[in-house]
Amino acid sequence: MKKWRLLDTGIKTGSENMALDDAILECKSLENTPSTLRFLQFDPAAVLVGFHQSIAQEVRLDYCEKYGVDVNRRITGGGAILFTPTCLGWEIFADKSTPGINELRYDLDKLARLVCSGTVAGLRRLGVEAEFRPKNDIEVKGRKISGTGGTERGGAFMYQGTLLIDFDIDLMLRSLRIPIEKLADKEIDSVKERVTCLKWELGYVPPLDEIKRAMIDGFQEVLGVEFENGELTSEEKEVFSELLPEYQSSDWIDMVQPPPNHAGHVSAVRKTPGGLVRVSLSLNVAGNFIESSYITGDFQIFPQRAVMDLEAKLKNIAADEESIRKNVLEFFEESGARILGVKPNELVQLILEATKKIAFSSIGISLNESNHLMTVNLMPDEVLSHNFDYILLPYCAKLVGCDYRKTEGCIECGECTIGDIYQLANELDIPVRTIQNFEHLIETIKEFEAKGARGYIGSCCEAFYNKHHRDFLDTGVPGLLVDVDDSTCYELGEEQEAYVGDFEGQTVLKLDIIVQVLKSLKEKGRLEGRVTADAGI
């Protein structure tokens, strides 16, 4: 039976653990270190963002600095996580040519399933009925107990996971800006519905040595290897010492910056099977060239640094469909890079959606303002070729306590932004419908489709749009949506209440943008309201 090294590096800081990851993987890629199972822990607690994520967008830095939570960046993709001393990390370093792994090296889903099966087998030894959940989670009765991810270098790969032994929900919620497209209801009870830990499953915390022993046995069973206790090699220690200053530096930690907020910045975001992907582009003044691009999110790309190479490939190219499609598809074909759960053509469409937002200038919307607009079943440059027959507004923008909050209509009292839109809609002779919940939204769009509606202007938060993007598309009706201001149900952790129409918060419509859109489309003959008589309004 093939022997692998068992490496327990104990408790270290975030920068030390990240530097060790890089050092071991580098030495493994040079065939100078054995295949390894590594256990790791963090102290102090550490927020670790994925390789492609922006610290500013993912982490509540003020809170982390105040309460001593470390912040660092992983060399793997995926989303931001909190790693406390009550979490146990595990990592596999191996050659891609390893028997049993070689056959799966081009099938990332099956490779993830194989490696995660080691943890699943270990948890079952502890009496926890865990199972693999695609694309890369381990769950117990539908609740996540371990998140995983990987990267590769040369002929080697690293696959890692976090096992929750105990779970500090409050610390996680306060230190992370939980991606609202992924975790809609951030209340503690809702988190417990999505995540679990050994303590909750067993009613106690097993001794750490017992947990590690079960994991070791699980990986030995699945990988068909035998582990022997080992230490870092002299070369690994040397590389680690060289790398540590880098992982302690702001250059590494702040490597991914939010794109500059200037007049030439456009963006598009989509929740895909492979995770959230956000494309942000800086265009030249004329809007016909991409000056720079930022592709961020919690997706996983192999090799890890390929996203930077893709961003470089897009630099200074024409912002037209032919150039974008050619460069993106050419990049993936030539580099061999792949994004788990995201097809190259899907990325092309997302980049095109961002660049085409320049078309909104024809209705008086600046590029910065265009990032608050989202299109459904049409591209931004197709807006002026479609007619829009009605307006959809969210009930949560009406005053809490208003007699019309839970029903159709508005007395236009001037106490909320809804009244301004109702007043304008009357002037423009366009019907308005107040949406009460998700099901009402879909029913309303289908109702108007049956009556010959050609399109709608609506308002909702970006998080709702991303979460229900497929539902919007499935209606088949073109739409133009405007983001909302203020605290949304997603930001307050009350998505479930909003889903059924019980959200009691107050949102604010982006009045200036909606008014500009409605007036401009009316002037151009694209806002007609021809379904008024059939709508029963």
Residue 211 shares a structural domain with residue 305: no
Say if residues 409 and 420 touch (Cβ distance below 8 Å). Answer: no
Following DSSP, what letter does each residue of 325-360 receive, concatenated?
HHHHHHHHHHH--EETTB-HHHHHHHHHHHHGGGGG
146 pLDDT tier (thresholds 50, 70, 90): very high
At CB < 8 A and 24+ separation, what contacts does 120-125 make?
120/218, 121/217, 121/218, 121/219, 121/221, 121/222, 122/211, 122/214, 122/215, 122/216, 122/217, 122/218, 122/219, 123/163, 123/214, 123/218, 124/218, 125/214, 125/217, 125/218
377 pLDDT tier (thresholds 50, 70, 90): very high
- DSSP 3-state assignment of 490? coil
Residue 297 shares a structural domain with residue 220: no
Residue 96 shares a structural domain with residue 82: yes
**Which residue type, as a one-letter code, is found at position 212?**
K
In a domain, 67, yes or no: yes
Residue 190 shares a structural domain with residue 317: no
Q: Residue 423: CB partners within 8 Å, gap ≥ 6? A: 412
Q: Residue 35: CB partners within 8 Å, gap ≥ 6? A: 2, 4, 5, 28, 92, 93, 94, 95, 98, 225
pLDDT at 187: 42
Domain count, the chain: 3
In a domain, 367, yes or no: no
pLDDT at 101: 73
Q: Which helix (H) or strand (E) holds 22?
A: helix 14-29
- Which residue has tokens 């459904």? 376
Q: Which of 27-36, 175-184, 226-235, 343-352 has the lowest mean pLDDT?
A: 175-184
Instruction: Report the number of secondary-structure helices (H) and strands (E) in the chain.
Output: 21, 24
In a domain, 137, yes or no: yes
Residue 240 shares a structural domain with residue 116: yes
Q: Measure the CA–CA gap between 279 and 352, rounded to whole angstroms.
A: 10
**DSSP β-ladder status, 156-164 and 87-95:** antiparallel
Range of the domain at 87: 2-253
Nearest C-alpha neighbor of 172 from the set 47, 49, 275: 47
496 pLDDT tier (thresholds 50, 70, 90): low
Q: Measure the CA–CA gap between 526 and 362, rounded to whole angstroms.
A: 13
* Domain-ending residue, one of 205, 224, 253: 253
Rounded mean pLDDT, 148-158: 89
This prediction has a pTM of 0.65
pLDDT at 183: 39
- Which residue has tokens 């092309």? 348
pLDDT digits (tens, 9 = 90+) for 236-286: 999 999 999 999 999 999 998 766 544 568 888 888 888 888 898 888 767
pLDDT at 244: 97
180 pLDDT tier (thresholds 50, 70, 90): very low
**DSSP β-ladder status, 479-482 and 36-42:** unpaired
Say if residues 126 and 76 touch (Cβ distance below 8 Å). Answer: no
Q: Measure the CA–CA gap between 24 and 76, rounded to whole angstroms.
A: 14
In a domain, 175, yes or no: yes
- Whole-number mean pLDDT of the chain? 86
**DSSP β-ladder status, 2-12 and 36-42:** parallel
Q: Measure the CA–CA gap between 456 and 88, rounded to whole angstroms.
A: 50
**Phi, psi of 528, rounded to the nearest 5 degrees:** -115, -35
Q: Is 403 exposed, middle or buried (0-12, 13-18, 19+ CB in 10 A)?
A: exposed
Q: Which helix (H) or strand (E) holds 37?
A: strand 36-42
Say if residues 521 and 363 touch (Cβ distance below 8 Å). Answer: yes
pLDDT at 192: 64
The CATH number of residue 387's host domain is 3.40.50
pLDDT at 500: 46
Q: Where are the alpha helices (DSSP H) in 431-487?
A: 438-450, 462-467, 469-475
In a domain, 85, yes or no: yes
Residue 343 shares a structural domain with residue 484: no
Say if residues 150 and 104 touch (Cβ distance below 8 Å). Answer: no
Query: Structure tokens of 487?
Result: 């605290």
Nearest C-alpha neighbor of 240 from the set 33, 3, 55, 6: 33
Q: What is the dihedral of CA 466, 471, 474, 475, to 10 degrees?
A: -110
The CATH number of residue 286's host domain is 3.30.390.50
In a domain, 266, yes or no: yes
The CATH number of residue 207's host domain is 3.30.930.10
pLDDT at 296: 80
Find the length of the chain.
537
pLDDT at 488 over 60: no
* Domain-ending residue, one of 238, 253, 268: 253
Q: Measure the CA–CA gap between 210 and 125, rounded to whole angstroms.
A: 10
pLDDT digits (tens, 9 = 90+) for 334-373: 999 999 889 999 999 999 999 999 999 899 998 888 989 9
Most confident of 3-12, 406-415, 521-530: 3-12
Q: Where are the beta strands (DSSP E) in 212-331?
A: 225-229, 265-272, 275-283, 289-297, 301-302, 317-318
What percentage of the chain reaches a pLDDT higher than 70?
A: 89
In this structure, is the dihedral angle defined by the CA atoms of residues 526, 528, 531 and 532, taken in order, positive or negative? positive
Residue 466 shares a structural domain with residue 357: no
Residue 64 shares a structural domain with residue 194: yes
**Phi, psi of 384, rounded to the nearest 5 degrees:** -75, -5
Residue 334 shares a structural domain with residue 356: yes
In a domain, 296, yes or no: yes
Q: Measure the CA–CA gap between 160 and 150, rounded to whole angstroms.
A: 6
Q: Which of 128-137, 163-172, 189-198 has the lowest mean pLDDT?
A: 189-198
* Domain-ending residue, one of 202, 234, 253: 253
At CB < 8 A and 24+ separation, what contacts does 526-530 make?
526/383, 526/384, 526/386, 526/387, 526/388, 527/387, 527/388, 527/428, 527/430, 527/457, 528/387, 528/388, 528/389, 528/430, 529/389, 529/390, 529/428, 529/429, 529/430, 529/431, 530/387, 530/389, 530/452
Residue 257, CA distances (Å) to 57, 58, 210, 280 in order: 9, 11, 42, 11
Residue 474 shares a structural domain with residue 494: yes
Residue 454 shares a structural domain with residue 495: yes
pLDDT at 276: 83
pLDDT at 285: 67
Q: What is the dihedral of CA 10, 13, 19, 21, to 10 degrees?
A: 40
Residue 293 shares a structural domain with residue 421: no
Q: Residue 66: CB partners within 8 Å, gap ≥ 6? A: none
Query: Structure tokens of 267?
Result: 């963006």
In a domain, 31, yes or no: yes
Q: Measure the CA–CA gap between 92 and 109, rounded to whole angstroms.
A: 16
